[in-house]
Amino acid sequence: MTRGREVSFITPRKGVFKTVFQFKITLLESEPPVWRRIQVPGYYTFYDLHVAIQSAMGWTDSHLHAYEIGKKRLVRIESPYAVDELFEEAKYFTPNTRLARFFGKEKDAAVYEYDFGDSWRHEILLEDIVLKKSGVKYPLCLDGQRACPPEDCGGIDGYQACVDMTAGKHSFENEADARQLKVWLGDWQPERFNTKEVIFADPRRRFLRTMKN
């Protein structure tokens, strides 16, 4: 329910497709940029894309997410998990909205925000729509650079502190705080990313499991 209105969600499922969306995903304000290039099936919804972004970037899907599209007329596509927290009636939800509704040509773009506290905002840029290749398993991560920031590190400023720590630099006046951050980071390295290590989660399984919680 949201503001007294019942909301139902379409459970993700695999579909038949001939075309593939190629996106470049860039974490805004990261410098050097953290980015991924992925291809996803043409039948995908914004929820399916959300799961693919989480897998490709390295996030753990532990927080809410939403998309914003357009400049003059902003369209917001909400996470199904936010339904009980919305102050205004939502028109679009990610499981019910297909990518093809808003992505139709090269350079169409959106902003994907994950974790409204740390506010990780990503540019989602459509680079191309291509025919799927026989024998290729989609979604697919083609390229990318740099590791995803650690979850709950405090947004871009916290991420930069983590990067500085791995480089042997830190701005902590309290050495105990610096040591605590170093231990918390473990073996995290900001430069490390390998497309071969990306394992895409199944959107249907993710949806069914998380909606039960």
Give me the DSSP letters along 16-78: --SEEEEEEEEETT-SSPPEEEEEEETT-BHHHHHHHHHHHHT----S-EEEEE-SSS-EEEE
| Mean pLDDT rounded to a whole number for the chain | 92
What are the residues whose beta carbons fall under 8 Å from the beta carbon of 12, sequence distance 6 or more? 45, 47, 48, 51, 95, 203, 204, 206, 207
3-state class of 195 per DSSP? helix
- What residue spans define the domains of the chain? 19-146+193-212, 149-191
- pLDDT score of 79 more than 90: yes
Cα–Cα distance measured from residue 132 to residue 111, given in angstroms and rounded to the nearest whole number:
25
Model confidence over 65-76: pLDDT tens digits?
A: 999 999 778 999
pLDDT band at 13 (very low <50, low <70, confident <90, very high): very high
Model confidence over 33-59: pLDDT tens digits?
A: 999 999 999 999 999 999 999 999 999
Q: Report how far Cα 65 is from the mean position of its chain's Cα atoms.
A: 8
Cα–Cα distance measured from residue 77 to residue 66, given in angstroms and rounded to the nearest whole number:
6
Architecture per CATH, domain 19-146+193-212, reads as Roll (3.10)
What are the residues whose beta carbons fall under 8 Å from the beta carbon of 31, sequence distance 6 or more? none
